[in-house]
Amino acid sequence: MAQKYKSVPVKPSEITPKDVYLSRRDFLKQMGIVTAGAALLAACSTDIPAEPSTNVQPDTAQSVDVSSEELTDYEAAINYNNYYEFTTDKEGVAKLAQDFKSDPWTVEVTGLVNNPKTYGVEDLLSGFTQEERIYRLRCVEAWSMVIPWNGFTLASLLKEVEPKSEAKYVRFETLLDENQMPGTKNRLYPWPYVEGLRLDEAMNDLTLMATGLYGEMLMPQNGAPFRLVVPWKYGFKSIKSIVKIELTDEEPLNFWQEIAPNEYGFYANVNPNVDHPRWSQASERRIGELSRRETLMFNGYAEEVAYLYEGMDLTKFY
């Protein structure tokens, strides 16, 4: 496994502690932090409080002044479970998702493939080599975590269905079930949640179909039973609770592109040199830490993925 992270390896000290990750709410209470209204706004909301796009100072240099501002940002981060199908209330996702039925479940793999197939839970859990991968997760909103995921490579699944030569992209779709997912009653959003990758990105060894985290089965709020994890891209590309994977010859339009095409692109590669139109991407808040960290190009995975974008203008907002 070590060779997979050779660009900038995740150090053990970087791993977001399980209790912090799993019990954001409890952790928040322990810290005695009261959630402000602004902190309840969801990750990719067009209403999020913008961070300054310039002059982002490391916290260490700002002590008192920054602490109140940073605590607001920090509390927003530790309440994060971005799963709009349930709610845009960061603290509300886990509770609303607790009875979510993720078994039985099927994932249809279809489109431009020689062997289309619909997989059940057991097919995916036992049919592919399960691994643990420790990845950084960098949200477009400039918070980050380091999570040990369990899962299998998307490439191993795609090889089995055999993409046809015309297949250039992979389109993913999340379950849409109004009875279980109250947030989907909000017609302002273009449900179902859709994401997409270029086929070569999907085939990259880093691209994971996650089935668990911290050695346990995925929890509903994290996208049970199967979600994508694409660690060099902003978190919104890591689509949850997938029911359909379709190989296509057209670039899929993703959920956030459809909502705000001026702010979210198809590629969404982590790039500290290209700001979001409303905030800087140069640094990030690591959950559980008070200091900001510099954001790394491709989230630290340049060695594994930079070749995919040769010839592309990376200063352009994609």
Task: Name which position in 82, 150, 180, 269 contacts ligand MTE (CB under 6 A).
Answer: 82
Is residue 139 part of the contact set for ligand MTE (CB under 6 A)?
yes
Q: Do the beta carbons of residue 141 and residue 277 sit within 8 Å?
A: no
Among 28, 44, 287, 305, binds ligand MTE (CB under 6 A): 44
**Residue 171 touches ligand MTE, criterion: CB under 6 A:** no
Please give the Cα distance from 147 to 272 (Å, whole number).
Answer: 21
- Per the CB < 8 A criterion, the answer to whether 239 and 252 are in contact is no
Helix (H/G/I), strand (E/B), else coil: 83: strand
> Taking Cα atoms as reference points, which of 1, 32, 56, 23 lies closest to residue 292?
56
- Which of 143, 137, 132 has the alpha carbon at shortest distance from 51? 143
Q: Which stretch binds ligand MTE (CB under 6 A): 5-13, 22-30, 69-77, 78-86?
A: 78-86
Write the DSSP string, 145-204. EEEEEEEEEHHHHHHHH-B-TT--EEEEEE---TTT-GGGG-TTS-SSPEEEEEHHHHHS
193 interacts with ligand MTE by CB under 6 A:
yes
Between 84 and 103, how does the x/- string for binding to ligand MTE read (CB under 6 A)? xx------------------
Residue 236 makes contact with ligand MTE by CB under 6 A: yes
Contact stretch for ligand MTE (CB under 6 A) within 104-112, 151-159, 163-171, 237-245: 237-245
Query: What's the min distance (Å) between Cβ of 37 and ligand MTE?
Result: 20
Q: Kindly tell me which residue out of 81, 211, 254, 299 binds ligand MTE, with binding defined by CB under 6 A.
A: 81
In the complex, least distance from residue 189 CB atom to ligand MTE, rounded to whole angstroms = 9
Report the greatest alpha carbon distance in the chain.
Answer: 61
**Residue 191 in contact with residue 125, Cβ under 8 Å?**
no
- Closest to ligand MTE by CB, 41 vs 66, is 41
- Point out which span in 3-11, 26-34, 230-238, 246-254 binds ligand MTE (CB under 6 A): 230-238
Evaluate whether 167 touches 115 at the Cβ level (below 8 Å).
no
Q: Binding to ligand MTE (CB under 6 A): which residues in 210-229? A: 222
- AA identity, residue 243: V
83 near ligand MTE, rule: CB under 6 A: yes
Give me the least distance between CB of 138 and ligand MTE, in Å please.
Answer: 8
Q: Where are the alpha helices (DSSP H) in the chain?
A: 18-22, 24-30, 63-78, 93-97, 121-127, 154-161, 199-203, 255-259, 302-305
Q: Which of 238, 254, 257, 280 binds ligand MTE (CB under 6 A)?
A: 238
Check binding of 157 to ligand MTE (CB under 6 A). no
Coil, helix or strand for 286?
Answer: strand
Based on CB atoms, which residue is closest to ligand MTE, 135 or 152?
A: 135
β partners of residue 110: 246
In angstroms, give the least distance from the CB of 193 to ligand MTE. Answer: 4
Q: What b/e readout covers 33-60, taking b as 16+ CB neighbours within 10 angstroms?
A: bebeeebbbbbbeeebbebeeeebeebe
Of 111 and 235, which CB lies nearer to ligand MTE in the complex structure? 235
Instruction: Pick between residue 67 and residue 186 the one whose CB is nearest to ligand MTE.
Output: 186
Q: Which is nearer to ligand MTE, 66 or 295 (CB)?
A: 295
Tell me whether residue 167 or residue 181 sits nearer to ligand MTE (CB atom): 181
Give rounded-to-5 percent helix, strand, coil for the chain: 30, 25, 45
Give the footprint of ligand MTE on this chain (CB under 6 A).
43-44, 80-85, 139, 174, 193, 222, 235-236, 238-241
